[in-house]
């Protein structure tokens, strides 16, 4: 740490211009860096004529400037930035999926309410299936081991629910609403 009035220069990153590195040497290094996407990548024999240099000259630049190590550091930085972007995109998608799931849950509960209030707008089977699908997705996202919930419409005719079954459905709806909060 420097004293008042002194300035401590930070060491440049390997891919930045290094102390004592001339403008031409750095320009050639930058050309070497971006040649990683060419075929063959970062080949001094291919790069030399593109820069108007002999192979021996560019090899000296590369050796003195430690281009291979500096380029590897750059590649690591680019990979880390790409990884961070992938992670951020995944987090955004997860957030969007959870928001869509919350909307689907609200829709399912609304449809179940309509069913329980005797509305003719909704088929019981469809409302119940939607609610089960939402619960199944939520449990799957949460990593629950019991994410398997099945509705076999061939086994149960939900349009013919008894009063007892409707009470059970109401209890399930309340439980789902509590669990969602």
Q: pLDDT tens digits for 152-165?
A: 444 445 556 556 66
Note the helical H segments in the chain. 23-34, 44-50, 55-65, 67-116, 124-141, 163-180
Q: Which two tokens stand for residue 93?
A: 């998608």
3-state DSSP percent of the chain in helix, strand and coil, to 5: 65, 0, 35
What is the distance, to the nearest Å, from the Cα of residue 7 to the centroid of all Cα atoms in its chain? 41
Cis bond upstream, residue 40 (ω within 30) = yes
**Helical H runs in 117-162?**
124-141
Q: How far apart are CA 179 and CA 181, in angstroms?
A: 6
Domain spans in the chain, listed from the N-terminal domain onward: 23-65, 86-180
- pTM comes to 0.53
Q: Which two tokens stand for residue 50?
A: 């593109």
**CA–CA separation, 52 and 50 (whole Å):** 6
Residue 72 predicted with pLDDT over 80: yes
The CA distance from 108 to 29, in Å, is: 60
Q: Which of 11-20, 40-49, 96-105 has the lowest mean pLDDT?
A: 96-105
Query: What is the structure's pLDDT at 125?
Result: 66
- How confident is the model over 90-110, as pLDDT tens digits? 999 889 888 888 888 788 778
């Amino acid at each position: 740490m420097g004293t008042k009035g002194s300035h401590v220069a930070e060491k440049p990153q390997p891919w930045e211009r290094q102390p004592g590195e001339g403008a031409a040497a750095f320009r050639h290094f930058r050309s070497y860096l971006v040649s990683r996407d060419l075929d063959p990548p970062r080949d001094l024999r291919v790069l030399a004529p593109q820069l108007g240099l002999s192979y021996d000259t560019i090899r000296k630049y590369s050796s003195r400037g430690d281009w291979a190590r500096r380029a590897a550091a750059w590649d690591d930085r680019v990979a880390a930035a790409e990884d961070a972007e992938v992670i951020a995109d995944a987090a955004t998608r997860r957030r969007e999926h959870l928001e869509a799931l919350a909307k689907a849950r609200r829709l399912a509960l609304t449809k179940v309410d309509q069913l329980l209030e005797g509305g003719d707008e909704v088929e019981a089977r469809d409302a119940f299936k939607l609610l089960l699908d939402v619960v199944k997705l939520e449990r799957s996202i949460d990593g629950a081991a019991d994410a398997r919930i099945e509705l076999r419409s061939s086994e149960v005719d939900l349009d013919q629910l008894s009063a007892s079954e409707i009470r059970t459905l109401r209890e399930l709806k309340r439980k789902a609403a509590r669990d969602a909060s």
